[in-house]
Amino acid sequence: MTFTSGRVLVAGATGGTGRRVLDVLRRTDAEVVVRAMTRSTDDERRLRDGGADEVVVADAMDRDAVSTALEGVDAVVCTLGSSPGLDVLTSDRVDGTGVQNVVDAARAADVDQFVLVSSIGVGDSGPGMSLGLRLLLLGLGILSAKRRAEDHLRESGLSYTILRPGGLTNADPTGDVVVGEGGDTVSGSVPRADVAGLCVAALFTPEAANRTFEVVARRGLRGPPEGVVELDWRTTPRSAAADPTGDAAEESESAD
């Protein structure tokens, strides 16, 4: 099943990619109610100014709170993720358990579509991440947590799209993105704004359902791409931020 209209929950809405997803949804022509999930009540005004119609306070690590946050939701865009740091060594990971909690709540809520932002470097896309960074994130357990989250979503029975962006930047959207499928396909960087555009486009693109894509910006591409795919990414609803398809069918966008 693919999402057509209704209530979209953005998990990780205060993060760099999550904020841009809110902005894309605000600019869309679709009939959507945007619900932002945050851990802190202090974020409510900022999230509403950023495009959220509703704000719910829920820690992704709290299963009951997440279940409440997902009530009445029709689609989910999940951009939850950890940043490398000492706290990652001593705490459970939102990349794994947190995302799994959102997936379980989405399944219980019978959502139509779930879009997950993971990362190049996870699973069979490992060669697309530089060796040094990959070793660091493997040591911190972040990549293994993200892999568990991906697997949990695939096994959930939900209609899903998993996006594995390359290195995320805060640059303006390029509207010119290369999408691979198959793991070791593309390597490089991509603006968060491009990723956000693809997250929203994936909600409305039936051909993207139940697939995993690696995504980088064409200008951030490192090395020759392999396994590039051409999809008719739906630009309806069309965002004023960036057309995820640009002028070529293989162009797209990705996330945190």
Q: Which CATH number fits domain 6-220: 3.40.50.970, 3.30.365.10, 3.40.50.720, 3.40.50.300?
A: 3.40.50.720
Q: What is the enclosing helix (H) or strand (E) of 200?
A: helix 192-203
How far is residue 125's CA from residue 143's CA, in Å, rounded to a whole number? 11
Strand partners, 115: 77, 161
b/e map 116-125, b = 16+ CB within 10 Å: bbbbbbbbeb
Residue located via tokens 């995993």: 212
Q: Among 103, 101, 134, which residue's Cα sits nearest to residue 116?
A: 103
Give the gyration radius of the chain's Cα atoms: 16
Collapse the DSSP code of 5 into the 3-class scheme (helix H, G, I; strand E, B; otherwise coil) and give the result: coil
- Return the pLDDT at 135: 80
pTM of the predicted model, to two decimals? 0.88
- For the chain, domain boundaries: 6-220
CA distances from 221 to 48, 157, 170, 185, 192 (A): 35, 33, 16, 11, 15
> What is the DSSP code string of 102-130?
HHHHHHHHT-SEEEEE--TTSGGGGGGS-
**Bridge-based pairing state of the strands 211-217 and 160-165:** parallel
CA distances from 202 to 24, 130, 186, 235 (A): 12, 27, 19, 10
- pLDDT per residue as tens, the chain (256 positions): 567 789 999 999 999 999 999 999 998 888 999 999 999 999 999 999 999 999 999 999 999 999 999 999 999 999 998 765 544 444 457 899 999 999 999 999 999 999 999 999 999 998 888 888 878 777 778 899 999 999 999 999 999 999 999 999 999 999 999 999 999 999 999 999 999 999 999 999 999 999 999 999 999 999 999 999 998 887 544 443 444 544 333 333 333 4
